[in-house]
């Protein structure tokens, strides 16, 4: 039982990272029906920006986190304006190819400037162990930070979406882009704001991963990006609560599989879950069935 609880805590930490990245996928898809496969690389850039501001500017954890989120938001807007806006009305295959191209450009562009070797992320947080139940359950302070920061960011996101004018505009564009434009909503500004929020959350995830694992590299966004996409599909891509649920579900599933002897197969289990969800409930566990007019 103690091992199960320990792995549950570890799964919540990993699931928090997946959830933060998955939110960017699901928000962009909900607004413009684009699967932004470059989103995992924004997460990688967030890790490197966090590394730079902590190493060279000697900032603490929270200032580094906030600065990284702001810079990643700006990068997200630039990527949307340069790469995605021109092909917004093109075919889906054109958008998909563009997203993959942007992903490769960010990965190998970063590798050109910072080189391919793994870098050690500075220790900006002390990892204190809290022993519970006479030492049978160990709770690390970094796990607590990751879970709490993720919850705060998710609550802030919910507030923006449901309590602000920009959030109402996002929901209107997601529901009917043409009708929203007729009502005076700037679709371009709304899309840019959506990319900014999603990229900021991915940047936060990059910093949290750097603090948690203490190592970063230019290709670190590939697999977590795919896993976050799986999480978004599991919950229902385009549905924000679904991205949160899918992230935590996938994180805890992977952790449990690794803990009970299947560490070599945890990635395979994740993709097997994706296939199963697509076969049984293609719209995701929390997604709604939609009818498409012909």
Q: Is there a domain that residue 287 lies in?
A: no
Q: Is there a domain that residue 290 lies in?
A: no
Q: Is there a domain that residue 294 lies in?
A: no
What is the DSSP code string of 255-290? HHHIIIIIGGGHHHHHHHHHHHHHHH-TT-SSPPP-
Q: What was the pLDDT predicted at 173? A: 92
Residue recorded with tokens 């959350």? 201
Q: What was the pLDDT predicted at 294? A: 43
Q: Is there a domain that residue 116 lies in?
A: yes
Q: What is the pLDDT along the chain (294 residues), one digit of tens a residue?
A: 667 777 888 899 999 999 999 999 999 998 988 889 999 999 999 999 999 999 999 999 999 999 999 999 999 999 999 999 999 888 889 999 999 999 999 999 999 999 999 999 998 888 888 777 666 677 788 888 999 999 999 999 999 999 999 999 999 998 888 899 998 999 999 999 999 999 999 999 999 999 998 899 999 999 999 999 999 999 998 888 899 999 999 999 999 998 887 778 888 999 999 999 999 998 898 876 655 444
Q: What was the pLDDT predicted at 293? A: 47
Q: Is there a domain that residue 57 lies in?
A: yes
Residue numbers of the domain that contains 237: 2-280
Q: Number of structural domains, the chain?
A: 1
Contacts of 259 (CB under 8 A, 6+ apart): 3, 7, 10
Model confidence, pTM: 0.92
Query: Is residue 289 within 8 Å of 239, Cβ to Cβ?
Result: no
CATH number of the domain bearing residue 187:
1.10.3470
- Strands (DSSP E) found in 26-180: 119-120, 129-132, 137-140
* Cα–chain center distance at 163: 22
Q: Is there a domain that residue 289 lies in?
A: no
Q: Is there a domain that residue 264 lies in?
A: yes
User: What are 216's strand-pairing partners?
Assistant: 119
User: What are the backbone angles phi and psi of residue 139, rounded to the nearest 5°?
Assistant: -115, 115
Q: Is there a domain that residue 293 lies in?
A: no
Query: Is residue 214 within 8 Å of 1, Cβ to Cβ?
Result: no
User: 3-class DSSP state for residue 200?
Assistant: helix
């Amino acid at each position: 039982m103690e091992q199960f609880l320990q792995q549950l805590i570890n799964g919540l930490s990993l699931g928090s990272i997946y959830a933060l990245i998955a939110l960017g996928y699901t928000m962009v898809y909900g607004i413009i029906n684009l699967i932004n496969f470059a989103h995992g690389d924004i997460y990688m850039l967030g890790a490197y920006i966090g590394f730079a501001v902590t190493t060279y500017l000697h900032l603490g954890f929270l200032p580094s986190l906030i600065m990284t989120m702001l810079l990643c938001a700006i990068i997200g807007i630039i990527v949307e304006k340069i790469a995605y806006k021109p092909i917004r009305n093109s075919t889906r295959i054109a958008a998909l190819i563009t997203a993959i191209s942007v992903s490769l450009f960010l990965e190998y562009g970063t590798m050109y400037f910072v080189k391919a070797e793994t870098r050690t992320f500075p220790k900006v947080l002390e990892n204190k162990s809290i022993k519970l139940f006479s030492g049978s359950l160990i709770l690390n302070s970094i796990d607590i930070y990751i879970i709490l920061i993720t919850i705060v960011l998710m609550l802030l996101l919910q507030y923006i979406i449901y309590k602000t004018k920009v959030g109402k505009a996002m929901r209107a564009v997601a529901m009917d882009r043409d009708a929203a434009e007729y009502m005076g909503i700037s679709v371009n500004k709304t899309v840019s704001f959506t990319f900014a929020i999603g990229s900021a959350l991915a940047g936060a995830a990059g910093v949290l991963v750097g603090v948690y694992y203490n190592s970063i590299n230019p290709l670190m966004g590939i697999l977590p990006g795919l896993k976050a996409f799986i999480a978004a599909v599991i919950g229902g891509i385009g549905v924000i609560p679904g991205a949160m649920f899918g992230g935590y579900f996938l994180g805890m599933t992977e952790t449990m599989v690794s803990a009970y002897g299947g560490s070599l197969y945890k990635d395979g289990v994740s993709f097997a879950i994706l296939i199963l969800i697509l076969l049984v409930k293609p719209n995701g566990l929390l997604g709604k069935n939609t009818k498409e007019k012909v």
